Structure 1
Amino acid sequence: MNTRTYIRLFAAAAAVITCLMLRTAAGCCAALGVLAAFLLVEGIVTDMRRKRRLTELTDYITRVQDDLSLAAPECSDEGLTGILQSEIYKVVALLREQYSAEKDRKEYMSDMLSDISHQIKTPLTAIQLMTELLEQSDLDAEKRMQYAEKIDSQVGRITWLIRNLLTLSQLEAGVLKMKPTAVGLSELMGDIRTSLEIMAEVRGVTLEFEMPDAEIDADRHWLREALMNIIKNCIEHTDEGGYVRVNGTQNNICTELTIEDNGSGISEKDLPHIFERFYKADNSSPQSVGIGLALAKNIINAHSGIIAVSSTKGKGTVFTVKLYTVF
């Protein structure tokens, strides 16, 4: 029962007690008359208060349509009006959250499109320039072939960018599903090592792998893509004479992979952002797009795994990947 009900019961009890004390018909009539008048006045006041509160709620609903940031008045009413008021505020709070999320999503899409435009604009400009050079009638065959190869290289870069962006978007939307099979860990790492040996050799970086003879349930294609991106990142940021070490362990809970280098390291400012799409640290190469680590993180997450990183500027970086047994 609310406060208003208690007041009415108290007034009725007071009238009954008064009647019992007076023990006269006139006294009882007077007491009942006072009770009736009190209840009438109380009803009128309650009705007026309810109408005023409903008017305030209607006004609030009208104003909040134009400004979702409008603060809700204090909820103090009881009964059905209080319930209505509470539900209205809940709906407004929900709409406010949805509006904020939609606003953030639009800002994110705007930034993403801006970044994509910038990344595609650079190779397109190079293609346009070399196409104009190819139109020169006095251009010798050797130069013509060089320009054609550069155009092909830039087209490949655009194709790679679009393919990876599409993959990343599908992973973030939950559209791209992993297809787990039994994957030999040593065999997978051997394949990755073979693919990256030339890159490491050119940079003068030593690749070291130590893997248990074990299997994991994973989508081989996409897990290979993720690990390749991480190891390539380590090679790119390690100077000549350095190393990249990849170690693995397995227990009943998870398979843990560590990728360690003694390269340039990552600054404290950049470290929280390296898995963000298009983020480029201060020591990134000019050719870096900033997709590789973001793609790797999403692929590992899609395997119900986690990836963490620790780094010391000037000393090196360690990536830790945990792939849990239940996938």
Structure 2
Amino acid sequence: MTPQDMDAFEELLANCADEPIRFPGAIQPHGVLLTLSEPALGIIQVSANVETLLARAPQGLIGQPLESLIGDAEAAQVREALLHPALSDVPPLHFRLNDTAFVGLLHRHQGVLILELEINVENFQTLNVAGNQTHLGRMLQRLQAATTLQTLYDISVKEIQAMTGYDRVLIYRFEEEGHGQVIAEASSPSMELFNGLFFPASDIPEQARELYRTNWLRIIPNADYQPVPLVPKLRPDTNTPLDLSFATLRSVSPIHCQYMKNMGVLSSMSISLLKGDKLWGLISCGNRQPLHVPQELRAACQTIGQVLSLQISAMEALEISRQREEKVEALALLNQAMIDSPQNVFDGLAHQPQTLMALTNAGGIAIIEDKQLHRYGHCPEPDEIRALQKWLQDRGEAVFASNHLAGVYPPAEQYQQVASGVLAISLPKPVDNGVLWFRPEVKENINWSGDPRKPLDLENSEAGLRLRPRTSFEIWKVEMAGISTQWSHGDLFAANDLRRSALENDLARQVRREQEAVRARDELVAVVSHDLRNPMTVISMLCGMMQKAFSSDGPHTSRRISTAIDTMQHAAGRMNTLLEDLLDTSKIDAGRYVITPQKLDVGQMFEEAQSLLAPLALDKDISISFDADPDLRIHADPERLFQVLSNLVGNAIKFTPRLGKVRVHAKSVGDEIVFTVSDSGEGIPKENLPHVFDRYWTVKEGNPTGTGLGLYITQGIVEAHGGTICAESEPGRGSEFRFTVPLFTE
């Protein structure tokens, strides 16, 4: 084939995939199709064969009422059927028109009512309808009693062949890669057997699969038919082709008809098998001679397909459950190994190599934790594993599975003998980690019905090059290189469950380490605070004694020493405050901050606070006021609550300029007391306000001695009381801090 022919071939393949199979503009000739207006039932379109089957000219029927074609009584049946809420529940209608028996089928689609008058097959060669119903009941019982999927498939194809008389009935299952495999077959002795063969994905294009998904059954009684056009060709209301997706009589692609002939059949019927809302496979029937299966019998076959779909889903679910149950014991053993490991979860797994390999029937495993790499069984070399692990981590998948690793990771071609398949898990950690299971290459021959690399061919015609369905259905032996056995649902479940257990154990270890670190830090802070507090007390005492010996009113040397002593005493006091803050912060961080609440009178507490804090305000000529609603009682720790007030009022005084105002207020709101500390200072910038309660946050300007722990501890104390605290501020107009404490109730 020339390069030009190759380009034409690819273009024709694309056109084939885009063929308007939903809008063929024609039907098969074994019936008449009409589109009708509602509610008048005026004829909008009609198939051209109405002239041969019902002796009426199609053009003369357009715009006429349905009664003019089929009669008043028959039209009345149609009107009665339209009263049903769902036309899919309406049983077929039976008419006798122009000495021919017809079955009437109704459906609505895209705003139009479609009536199909299919020629009814009389004296069909198999069982009568009543006999079929009895036979169907017994068959459904056998389907439901099947204990394996293969038994289920075999019963279905044999029974459908017996009921319909088709030369070949097979079940075709779609694989994840897109192609399909025949997994059950019942055929006449003279038919070529297809059981076990694979068919390329291009045999059933994507748009055809979508029609199979939305329609349970399709039939072609005779592939040698001449399509019957609709009159008029386009819908008068939309000037577009009529969508015949759900029409039984819909004309099919001429390529498909030729495909059937190449397979040696002239008649076909397909029944969809669905798993949920996805197309799982097909029951495909074929006959060497034309065969028109009656509608009643087709309905029975459709029921079989629906029951088989349910049974397949149920039995596959049972199989998945069985596979999972097989893994439970090994997973429990591996989980315990991870728990018992003194190092890390991967070290625990490394002590159970045989269990880990048997978990997924792997030929080898690799376990990675930072610099450590453990290999067991048949594995790639360490450098190859490290490179593969990096590639896996770059993909970012928690669980990765492939039975053709070289197809997505070309370097794996170098070691596909031991690792054509890989299943891998990893944890979200800053170091390289993970478990990789390897499976070796399995040299297997897959039987293709025809060359999968050349599903269609080209032929010359008067119109130029056109696609010709392949005529060869000979078995092609295709050796699959670099392929391992597929990872099962049970293997994937095991990998996911092991990763979940590893993640839980790893997080538990981190939590324990952090808890131990917090305890160690708290103990260190407590020891350091205790050991430093005594020297600070001694320093303060010595400073007091030295101050008596050196007067600030004495000579120059005496004044310098006195100033130095004041500085030392102030530094010692600040050191004591810092030690207390560190102890409080450590307790708050660890969630062990303890208060001893009791009944307190707010008014009395304010009097004590004013006597202790007012002198600080007077030093800056700041007006300070404490006022509370009468008879307020709270449930609080007096020492800790005074620490809150002292901190808030102290900050208010510190950041309020001379002649400013500070106000402390308390009032009852519901079952809480709301305390407010407000000032007339410069306020807090908007961008800083969300951070005022953060640990170690400080205002830099005018606060040279701030530790950044005061408001953090204040918040911790308030929350330990079950209250909340917040801050509001407007630069240039001051700040306001509000906190709540539970009201005391008898």
Q: Partner of 2:715: helix, strand, or coil?
A: helix
- Alignment partner, residue 16 of structure 1: 155
What is the rounded CA distance, in whole Å, between the counterparts of 2:397 and 2:744 in structure 1? 46
Q: 1:156 to 1:57 in 2, by over 3 A?
A: farther
Task: Map 1:203-242 onto structure 2 (within 5 A).
Answer: 203-212=620-629, 213-242=631-660
The partner residue of 2:495 within 82, 85, 92 is 85
What is the rounded CA distance, in whole Å, between the counterparts of 2:362 and 2:650 in structure 1? 65
The partner residue of 2:736 within 318, 321, 324 is 318
Q: Please say if 1:263 is aligned against 2:692.
A: no
Identity of aligned residues (%): 19
Q: Partner of 2:610: helix, strand, or coil?
A: helix
What is the rounded CA distance, in whole Å, between the counterparts of 1:305 and 1:54 in structure 2? 58
Does the Cα contact within 8 Å between 1:75 and 1:86 map onto a contact in 2? no
- Alignment partner, residue 144 of structure 1: 561
Structure with more of its chain in helix, by fraction: 1
Aligned-residue CA RMSD (Å): 4.4
Query: Residues 118-155 of structure 1: CA distance to partner in whole angstroms, max 9, x if unpaired?
Result: xx9xxx9xx9xxx9xx9xxx983343233223212212
The one-letter amino acid paired with 2:368 is T
- Alignment partner, residue 384 of structure 2: none
The number of equivalent residue pairs is: 277
Query: Residues 38-84 of structure 1: CA distance to partner in whole angstroms, max 9, x if unpaired?
Result: 9xxxx9xx9xxx9896759955x6368989x9544357877543432
What is the rounded CA distance, in whole Å, between the counterparts of 2:674 and 2:559 in structure 1? 51
Deviation, structure 1 residue 303: 0.6
Deviation, structure 1 residue 218: 0.4
Higher relative contact order (CA 8 A, sep 6+): 1
Q: 1:78 to 1:255 in 2, by over 3 A?
A: farther
Deviation, structure 1 residue 319: 0.6
Query: Residues 65-120 of structure 1: CA distance to partner in whole angstroms, max 9, x if unpaired?
Result: 989x95443578775434322323334554469759979x98xx8xxx9xxxxxx9
Q: 1:316 to 1:152 in 2, by over 3 A?
A: same
- Alignment partner, residue 570 of structure 2: 153
Q: Partner of 2:696: helix, strand, or coil?
A: coil
What is the rounded CA distance, in whole Å, between the counterparts of 1:102 and 1:269 in structure 2? 36
- Alignment partner, residue 3 of structure 1: none
Deviation, structure 1 residue 257: 1.0
Deviation, structure 1 residue 250: 1.1
The one-letter amino acid paired with 2:495 is Q
What is the rounded CA distance, in whole Å, between the counterparts of 2:368 and 2:577 in structure 1? 51
Task: Map 1:90-105 onto structure 2 (within 5 A).
Answer: 90-91=500-501, 93-94=503-504, 95=506
Q: Partner of 1:140: helix, strand, or coil?
A: helix
Deviation, structure 1 residue 210: 1.6
Q: 1:99 to 1:18 in 2, by over 3 A?
A: same
What is the rounded CA distance, in whole Å, between the counterparts of 1:73 and 1:276 in structure 2? 36
Q: Partner of 2:678: helix, strand, or coil?
A: strand
- Alignment partner, residue 197 of structure 1: 614
Deviation, structure 1 residue 17: 4.1
Does the Cα contact within 8 Å between 2:399 and 2:495 map onto a contact in 1? no
Deviation, structure 1 residue 166: 0.8
Deviation, structure 1 residue 239: 1.0
What is the rounded CA distance, in whole Å, between the counterparts of 2:743 and 2:361 in structure 1? 57
Does the Cα contact within 8 Å between 1:75 and 1:82 map onto a contact in 2? no
Q: Please say if 1:306 is aligned against 2:306.
A: no
Does the Cα contact within 8 Å between 2:595 and 2:637 map onto a contact in 1? yes
Does the Cα contact within 8 Å between 1:255 and 1:325 map onto a contact in 2? yes
- Alignment partner, residue 73 of structure 1: 398
Does the Cα contact within 8 Å between 1:72 and 1:89 map onto a contact in 2? no
- Alignment partner, residue 177 of structure 1: 594
What is the rounded CA distance, in whole Å, between the counterparts of 1:294 and 1:319 in structure 2? 13
TM-score (norm 2): 0.32
Deviation, structure 1 residue 205: 1.2
What is the rounded CA distance, in whole Å, between the counterparts of 2:677 and 2:499 in structure 1? 51
The one-letter amino acid paired with 1:172 is D
Query: Residues 186-245 of structure 1: CA distance to partner in whole angstroms, max 9, x if unpaired?
Result: 111111111111110111211122202211000000011011101111111111121111
What is the rounded CA distance, in whole Å, between the counterparts of 2:491 and 2:155 in structure 1? 31
Structure with more of its chain in strand, by fraction: 2
The one-letter amino acid paired with 1:62 is I
What is the rounded CA distance, in whole Å, between the counterparts of 1:278 and 1:288 in structure 2? 9
Q: Partner of 1:176: helix, strand, or coil?
A: coil
The one-letter amino acid paired with 2:685 is S
What is the rounded CA distance, in whole Å, between the counterparts of 1:93 and 1:318 in structure 2? 46
Does the Cα contact within 8 Å between 1:206 and 1:243 map onto a contact in 2? yes
Q: 1:56 to 1:278 in 2, by over 3 A?
A: farther
Deviation, structure 1 residue 291: 1.8
List alignment gaps of at least 5 residues for structure 2.
Answer: 1-146, 163-183, 187-192, 198-318, 324-356, 373-388, 402-486, 526-531, 547-554
Q: 1:18 to 1:173 in 2, by over 3 A?
A: closer
After superposing the two structures, state which structure 1 stretch, 300-309 or 249-258, moved more: 249-258
Deviation, structure 1 residue 267: 0.7
What is the rounded CA distance, in whole Å, between the counterparts of 1:198 and 1:268 in structure 2? 31
After superposing the two structures, state which structure 1 stretch, 293-302 or 79-88, moved more: 79-88
Q: Partner of 1:15: helix, strand, or coil?
A: helix
The one-letter amino acid paired with 1:269 is E
Q: Partner of 1:305: helix, strand, or coil?
A: coil
Does the Cα contact within 8 Å between 1:211 and 1:249 map onto a contact in 2? yes
Query: Residues 269-322 of structure 1: CA distance to partner in whole angstroms, max 9, x if unpaired?
Result: 211111122211243411222221111111111111110011111111111101
Task: Map 1:13-52 onto structure 2 (within 5 A).
Answer: 13-18=152-157
Q: 1:72 to 1:166 in 2, by over 3 A?
A: same
Q: Please say if 1:292 is aligned against 2:710.
A: yes
The one-letter amino acid paired with 1:15 is D
TM-score (norm 1): 0.69
